[in-house]
Amino acid sequence: MLHDFAIIGAGFGGSLMALILTRLGFRVILIDRGQHPRFAIGESSTPIANIILSQLAKQYDLPRLAPLAEYGSWKQSYPQLGVGLKRGFSYFQHRLGQQFQPSFNHESELLVAASAGAHDADTHWYRPDFDEFVAQEAVAAGVEYSDLTDVRVEPDGSQWLIEGTRAASPVSWRARFLIDGSGEGAVLARRFDIKSQVHQFHTDSRGLFSHFRNVPRWDALQGFSRGQGLEHPFCEHPYPCDDAALHHVFDGGWMWVLPFENGITSVGFSLDRRKYPVRTDLTPVEEWQLMLSRFPSIQEHLANAENVLPGNKMIRSGRMQRWAARATGPNWAMLPATAGFLDPLHSTGNAHTLSGIERLAALFSEHGLNVNSTDFQEALKTYETNLHAEVHLVDLIVHGCFRAMAHFPLFAAYSMLYFTAAIWAEHRRRNGLWSKQDAFLGATDSRYVQIVEESYRDLIELTQQPRLTATEDHAFLLRMRERIAPYNLAGLCDPGRKNLYPFPV
Ligand SMILES: Cc1cc2nc3c(=O)[nH]c(=O)nc-3n(C[C@H](O)[C@H](O)[C@H](O)COP(=O)(O)OP(=O)(O)OC[C@H]3O[C@@H](n4cnc5c(N)ncnc54)[C@H](O)[C@@H]3O)c2cc1C
């Protein structure tokens, strides 16, 4: 039987795309080589991700997905799905061989609140549960689903022939349009030998990560939980710093700590490969121990952590970046994380994936599967052009942050490029100002892109200096404040805030 769409990859991206296309009346086959529930990485959501999820739920009549867009409604509707509370983004600076040093001026901390309270907060998605739930919703809506299936994809005239095996039996489908949501599986890029443009990225990082039990709260570990001992600087935090995407930042890399309420915490290093090339002489576990031993307070944070993956597996990736030179063709498209990915810093991945799904859904809703029409092809091309602009922009932001990690005041100031764009986009969406021309994080807004490019050049020049004075740091912060002024809705880059930004009301 001929399907309208074949979607490769049943991560939350592929499954959600399948669900929406089914709601639009298309016949969809969704194929994954794995089986839910399974370990997956990419867990921390953001306000933009949640606004898009909620808007998609509304627009495509998916009321069962809507509660997942906020912590409070998630907990109330789906207590069985693993989740973590994310009130904001917390960053702490570490120096090689030294204990973490808090100060009354918060020079080694940066906290940016992303919600007013717990109820409307963002979440960490425990992906084994989250992805399985979305796939089950797709199946319940009428998507045909084949898991544990290895396939080859072949263009055949105006159709796709998808052939493979499931449980040693041959399977095959035909479809009019193929969507590749296989992520690092890169099914289409491999099949057509699509050129990688990853060499154009400045960011060059790799991951070393797993899931753990027994990871204590960082604020408790420091002995100064919020609300105790007014003399301690943590008391000024705009939210409890562990109810967040918590980042330990150091010269050449950073660590994410994302606690779920089921007792599991996602923890991993993202390391600049130029500073920390992979230690092939060490096992991933040995390299993990070595990295921890370099930063005493991080080591303390993970001292009793128990790896929960089978065989205590630590995952050591190669370069995390990918960027396919083509993200679309006449009758195919890649989802964002399949076409291009940078680094987990600032949690851009899932929001980017959702924004791509939103655009593809709008395209198929408006043009149907009229692949021979010029309008359809132009819309598909725009999707691709935007993806390219978006990964380019994220690269400048993320790489600049990596460069600044050695010098936290620059990191804190430069990171505001991400928060400015994110809060601007949230504002546009919440106030009905968003238009379908808006790209992710303002990537096609030439004025904003110019601000990022100028700030990037400025930062790179500064980070070439062997030493920076407090006066130079302050001057950079003020330059950043001046640059972002036309978009700065949340009083970012304000020296008076001492790196602590409450939720703007
Ligand atoms: C280390 C790391 C940390 C991250 N952290 C964050 C974060 O905190 N926040 C955030 O927003 N983003 C994060 N991301 C990005 C996030 O992982 C992606 O945005 C997200 O996973 C994209 O979802 P997806 O469903 O499109 O793809 P994936 O989640 O990659 O799913 C791909 C699916 O395709 C299947 N597949 C692969 N190959 C084949 C094949 N040949 N045939 C059939 N099926 C196949 C896989 O089994 C899988 O189910 C992170 C990424 C990395 C690498």
Does residue 40 have its Cβ closer than 6 Å to ligand 1?
yes
**Distance, CA 158 to ligand 1 centroid (Å)?**
29
Is the bond preceding residue 67 a cis peptide, omega within 30 degrees? no
Q: What is the pLDDT of residues 143-154, one digit of tens each?
A: 999 999 999 999
User: Atom 47 in ligand 1: which residue has the minimum CA distance?
Assistant: 34
**Distance, CA 226 to ligand 1 centroid (Å)?**
34
Domain boundaries along the sequence of the chain? 84-125+204-318
Residue 27 C-alpha from the chain's centroid: 29
| Nearest by Cα to 41 from 265, 284, 340 | 265
Does residue 396 have its Cβ closer than 6 Å to ligand 1?
no
**Distance, CA 179 to ligand 1 centroid (Å)?**
15
Residue 495's pLDDT is 96
- What atom of ligand 1 comes closest to residue 320's alpha carbon? 53
The span from the first CA to the last CA of the chain, in angstroms, equals 54
User: Atom 31 in ligand 1: which residue has the minimum CA distance?
Assistant: 11
Does residue 132 have its Cβ closer than 6 Å to ligand 1?
no
Residue 437's pLDDT is 86
- What atom of ligand 1 comes closest to residue 14's alpha carbon? 25
Q: Could you give the CA distance from residue 31 to residue 476 in angstroms, rounded to a whole number?
A: 49
Structure tokens at 189: 């890029």
Does residue 344 have its Cβ closer than 6 Å to ligand 1?
yes
Residue 504's pLDDT is 81
| pLDDT under 70: residue ranges of the chain | 223-234, 505
Q: Could you give the CA distance from residue 88 to residue 121 in angstroms, rounded to a whole number?
A: 8
Ligand 1 binding pocket mutation candidate from 353, 390, 441 (most atoms within 8 A of CB): 353
Ligand 1 binding pocket mutation candidate from 30, 33, 357 (most atoms within 8 A of CB): 33
Q: What is the pLDDT of residues 390-435, one digit of tens each?
A: 999 999 999 999 999 999 999 999 999 999 999 999 999 999 999 9
CA distances from 112 to 59, 70, 346, 485, 502 (A): 30, 18, 11, 18, 6
Does residue 44 have its Cβ closer than 6 Å to ligand 1?
yes
CA distances from 270 to 277, 317, 435 (A): 11, 10, 34
Does residue 394 have its Cβ closer than 6 Å to ligand 1?
no
| Nearest by Cα to 406 from 334, 463, 475 | 463
**DSSP state letters, 316-383:** EEEE--EEBS-SEETTEEE-HHHHEE--SGGG-HHHHHHHHHHHHHHHHHHHTT-TTSHHHHHHHHHH
**Distance, CA 341 to ligand 1 centroid (Å)?**
10
Does residue 180 have its Cβ closer than 6 Å to ligand 1?
no
- What atom of ligand 1 comes closest to residue 46's alpha carbon? 11
* Structural class in CATH, domain 84-125+204-318: alpha beta
Residue 177's pLDDT is 98
Does residue 42 have its Cβ closer than 6 Å to ligand 1?
yes
Q: Could you give the CA distance from residue 363 to residue 365 in angstroms, rounded to a whole number?
A: 5
Residue 436's pLDDT is 85
DSSP 199: G
User: Atom 49 in ligand 1: which residue has the minimum CA distance?
Assistant: 11
Ligand 1 binding pocket mutation candidate from 17, 29, 41 (most atoms within 8 A of CB): 41
Does residue 123 have its Cβ closer than 6 Å to ligand 1?
no
